[in-house]
A and B are shown apart, each in its own frame.
Chain A
Amino acid sequence: MYDGKPRKGQEPQPLVEVRGLKMYFPITSGLFRRKVGDVKAVDGLTFDILEGETLGLVGESGCGKSTAGRAILRLYDPTEGEVVIGGKDVAHAEGDALRRLRPAMQMVFQDPQASLNPRMTVADIIGEPLLEHTKMTSDERTARIYELMDAVGLNRVFANRYPHAFSGGQRQRIGIARALALNPKFIVCDEPIAALDVSIQAQVVNLLEELQDRLGLTYLFISHDLSMVRHIADRVAVMYLGRIVELADRDALFEQPLHPYTEALLSAIPEADPDEANRRTRILLKGDVPSPAHPPKGCNFCTRCPKVMDVCRNVKPDLFEVRPRHFVACHLYPPS
């Protein structure tokens, strides 16, 4: 049984350990489909997620956030690297062994419309994981489905309806109920609120937080909405072009961003107070993100960095702990 979030002072154990995760997609061309290169969607991620915490993963579109989330859950076969969830190696498990690991890790998808099979009723959708992994009788299953629907705030009357009859927020609740069905420890939320109205976003995020408190869940919360990440995450990792550039506790990151990219990203958050907004300077980045098929030789950010130095163009910086619990990959902060 879970007993909620770990108490303060008690050292929480890492639930998810990701080591040097790489996910390359081959580019083929020509008549014989010869491999001519790789799209380096995820290029060497290393981080831990502690039990009961929420790690926010932010970055702009196309930086590999979703790919990272899917590779961690083995929806893609990673090119290289290790993923250990709850002490079990996920990256190299095969066949039945992998299938047995699945219940511990689940995913909530971005587009609630596309992630629900239009030909299945809500009860079938939520019941599918139960059907696959438990030997419940049909009555037990129905009872569990209703329990889950209650947990995510869906009326039981809806059990026989099809997904098209629901609003976006309700569909996302169905998706969350499905993810919860097998009592997972770890849930990857792949931009679960990006496709929803602002008013519904808050509801869904609050639901996720409430479930986390009650069930002791661990989240990897992928998003490009910085204010939402600030609201829900305990720690935040910033990604740029397949690599983590900064990883720190939420408050430290939002108060004192170290990496120039994080600074630029945070300066783009709209400020409600007009006086404050006038005082702030927005850091505008020039140019586009380089293609992940041909990343720069040095630091991935060197083509757009306002503080670029010579060393940046030649040497890729590694992620170092420059302050306690604050990791940065940047030559401005030499490892001490």
Chain B
Amino acid sequence: MPEATLTKPMKIEKPRSQWRDVWIQFRKHKGAMVGMTVLTLLVLFVVIGPMVWHPPQMTTTQMLLSKNKPPSWTFPLGTDHLGRDFLTRLMMGGRVSIAVGFVAMMISLFVGTTIGTLAGFFPRLDGPLMRLTDLFLALPLLPLLLVLMMLFRDTLARAFGVEMGTFLLIVMAIGVTSWMQSARVVRGEVLALKEREFVLAARSIGTPSRRLILRHVLPNVISPVMVAATLNIADAIITESVLSFLGLGFPPDFPTWGRLLFDGLPYLQQFPERALWPGALMSLAVLSVN
């Protein structure tokens, strides 16, 4: 009976959310799935790893005796020049490096997107904000970071403890000095989007600027922002290792991939795997995020 089916009130179906559609698309993309698997494995490795793998407890004498050991059943990746288990250090270092990368990326993304959107959307703010961006771009990054470290390290260390304080400082410093690229990208996108008719249509409906930005502008700048973000993660991890190398990052006994890499450098001739492992993991992390 065709009439019966026509007159039957249709079940009101709730519209799907955008994120579910994104997820479905993501599932179909092979490269994305591979990257995600690798990243998940890495995160599991550094988060769960130290809980599962317990290196043998040793006294100082034992440690000194067992330094620079090749891989064995007791030390799967060997030991370093102070007799510490390399696998454990790799896992603990990964925690810090990945955390620094993500948090710094979040901060720079947040600052960059906010400033870029405001500059693009409100012509009055455009001039001042973009000059501010130029100012930050013109600052030499490394000396600035060094000065920041010198000035604030002790204060923060007192307030949050040495490790947490340094972590906060590094993350903030990297975040605050790397948002300029994304701000510029976002501003350009917003300027173009603002003139599109659907933004005009939303304005004719009477949507206030705040919701206009959140609903119409931001969802459409997400893809370039994501590209900038993934590049930022890599940058943040590398910058952190540079700082560690200069002795101004985390304390020397606190492992990060960057620190491990530079610790391994003097022994490159005898034990190339010590520089190779953290380097490989670093590249893998950056690659899988991209």
From residue A182, how far is it (CB to closest CB) to chain B in Å? 8
**Which range holds the interface residue count of chain B?**
20 to 34
CB-contacts of A73-120 with B (<8 A): 73, 75, 98-99, 102-103, 105-107, 109-111, 114-120
Contact assessment for A139 and B12 in the assembled complex, using a CB-CB cutoff below 8 Å: yes
Interface membership of A133, Cβ < 8 A? yes
Question: Do B208 and A109 touch (CB < 8 A)?
Answer: no
A24 interface residue per 8 A CB criterion: no
B222 — nearest CB in chain A belongs to which residue? A119
Residues of A within 8 A of B220 (CB): 117-119
Max chain A C-beta neighbours (<10 A), residue from B10, B15, B18, B215: B15
**A142, B196: Cβ atoms under 8 Å?**
no
Pick from B12, B16, B198: contact of A116, CB under 8 Å: B198
Check A99 against B206 for contact (C-beta < 8 Å).
yes
State whether B197 touches A110 (Cβ < 8 A).
Answer: yes
- Are B12 and A160 touching (Cβ within 8 A)? no
Instruction: Flag if A159 contacts B15 (CB, 8 Å).
Output: yes
Q: Name A267-309 residues within 8 Å CB distance of B.
A: none
Task: Write the nearest CB–CB distance from A78 to chain B, whole angstroms.
Answer: 15
Knowing A109-B201, A118-B220, A119-B220 are in contact, say whether A132-B14 is a contact too (CB < 8 A): no
A128 close to B12 (CB less than 8 A): no
Complex: how many Å from CA A286 to CA B255? 80
A129 at the interface (CB under 8 A from B): yes
Residues of B within 8 A of A246 (CB): none
Q: Is the CB of A121 within 8 A of B15?
A: yes
Within 8 A of A (CB), among B208-233: 208, 211, 215-216, 219-220
A31 CB within 8 Å of chain B: no
A86 to B270, CA, bound (A): 87
- Secondary structure call for the B interface: helix
Q: When chains A and B are docked, how far (Å) is the Cα of A135 from the Cα of B202?
A: 18
Asked if B268 CB lies within 8 Å of chain A CBs, one says: no
**Residue contact B204 to A102, C-beta cutoff 8 Å:** yes
Q: Please, which residues of chain A bring their CB within 8 A of the CB of B197?
A: 109-111, 114-115
13 additional contacts (CB under 8 A) given A107-B204, A178-B201: A73-B204, A75-B204, A99-B206, A109-B200, A109-B201, A114-B196, A114-B198, A120-B219, A121-B16, A128-B207, A132-B205, A132-B211, A156-B10
* Sampled A-B contacts (30; CB under 8 Å): A75-B203, A102-B204, A102-B205, A102-B206, A105-B204, A106-B205, A111-B197, A114-B197, A115-B198, A115-B200, A116-B201, A117-B202, A117-B215, A117-B220, A118-B220, A119-B18, A120-B18, A120-B215, A124-B15, A128-B202, A128-B207, A129-B205, A132-B205, A132-B211, A133-B205, A143-B12, A159-B13, A160-B13, A160-B16, A175-B201
Binding site for A on B (CB under 8 A): 10, 12-16, 18, 196-198, 200-208, 211, 215-216, 219-220
A binding-site residues for B, Cβ under 8 Å: 70, 73, 75, 98-99, 102-103, 105-107, 109-111, 114-121, 123-124, 128-129, 132-133, 138-139, 142-143, 146, 156, 159-160, 175, 178, 182
